[in-house]
Amino acid sequence: MEHEVAARKAPTRRETIKGGGALISGGLLAGCASESDPSGGTNGSNSSGGANTMASDSGNPYSVTMAPMGDVEFENVPKGWVANNGSWADMGIALGQDPPKGLWRPNRYHTHIYDDISGVDVDWRDLDELWGESLSKELFYGIGADVHVFDPEFVLSRSKWEQADIDEIRENVGPIFGNSIYSRAFQWHDHQYYSLYEAFEKLAQVFGQEQRYRAFKRLHDEFIGRVQDRLPPKSERPSVAILLATSNEPEKFYPYPINKGTSYKQWRDLGVTSALREAGIKDYYVSGGTIDYETILEIDPDVLLMWDGRGRFERMSLQKFQNTLVSFMKGHEVASQLTAVKNDDVYRGAGIYQGPIINLAWTERGAWQLYPDEFDRDEQLFDRKRVADIINGNV
């Protein structure tokens, strides 16, 4: 935190889709997700506990509804699973499940956040990478997951897969259930979006863990309420720019104006103004373009929040971040003129993917960063023990 190919198996199960489909509503988008770069074994000590309510292990089929799949039927409560990114992976951990067996890009799953949560032992390096140079169908067969948590329209828009490939995995391996919730800038996403906690509730229904979901929702709502009660008036809040840098010595950046996707939840909750949005800078997911220091200087945000797209900044110590990227900017002819650089307000801006646990940590850190006069870095704004208790089934 800021302190510091397997051979194919025979068919195993089927999913019944009742309504909904996977229609392509647009072509490939320029963005950090592509065939080679989508953006978008178990090792945990979590117990699934005794919080099943809707689903059960009795073998009785049940269904959960989520766009774009419609009603997805499950013969039993899933055990082994895979997901597209760390947002869903973090939800599963919060629900007391073992980690997913694979993700599109495991290095974008910020498992270091769990270092503060007693009894949670998850390391992204132990998860299979499902999307290397291409999305590997053979890996899906080799893993044999009980449920695949990803948005099929994302796959159709970002990979060489066709609907027949989606159907094959769904019918021969296991159900597909998911939605791309982290950004609302995708032109192909014309089906329903879900907020972080709406999506979390859906996954809780899949795993039969609604009690854990409700406990997290209460903890979250109380936490956000306490933080927002202490925020300064709107006129005194900083303007911020979220920028993605591809190196420690960047000259250009990919802009990310704060929108309604789950990627930006903590910044919306913290009441900041998006300097990029105010200046009319388009989201990289839409424009595919970059901006330079001269453009940033014209806007001159109060705070710069830096992403790198691979999780490197997040895994750096605060000192190393200061000694690399921030140090470079201080010595740069144009960057050194930025208000945020002069005032030491250049921070690690978290990442794109967050579930309920990671969101708590990143909201807390964001409060420390943006409002240091109100939130001391030594002050823990949410109860780590309560988080651990919920994960372990003490709801």
Q: Could you give all domains of the chain from N- to C-terminal order, each with its CATH number?
A: 17-218 (3.40.50.1980), 233-374 (3.40.50.1980)
Phi, psi of 59 (to 5 degrees): 90, 5
pLDDT of residue 50: 35
Average pLDDT over residues 315-328: 93
Task: Decide if pLDDT at 11 tops 50.
Answer: no
pLDDT of residue 43: 33
Type and span of the H or E element at 320: helix 318-321
Residue 32 and residue 39: Cα distance in Å, rounded? 5
Residue 244 structure tokens: 């993605």
pLDDT of residue 373: 95
Average pLDDT over residues 260-280: 94
Phi, psi of 150 (to 5 degrees): -155, 160
Q: Supply the pTM of this predicted model.
A: 0.85
Average pLDDT over residues 209-220: 98
Average pLDDT over residues 129-157: 94
Which residue has 């190196």 as its token pair? 247
pLDDT band at 12 (very low <50, low <70, confident <90, very high): very low
In tens, the pLDDT along 161-209 reads: 999 999 999 999 999 999 999 888 788 899 999 999 999 999 999 999 9
pLDDT of residue 271: 96
pLDDT of residue 57: 52
Cis peptide before 106 (omega within 30 of 0): no
Average pLDDT score, the chain:
86
In tens, the pLDDT along 239-256 reads: 999 999 989 999 999 999
Is the backbone of residue 64 left (phi > 0), alpha (psi -120 to 50) or beta?
beta
pLDDT band at 333 (very low <50, low <70, confident <90, very high): very high
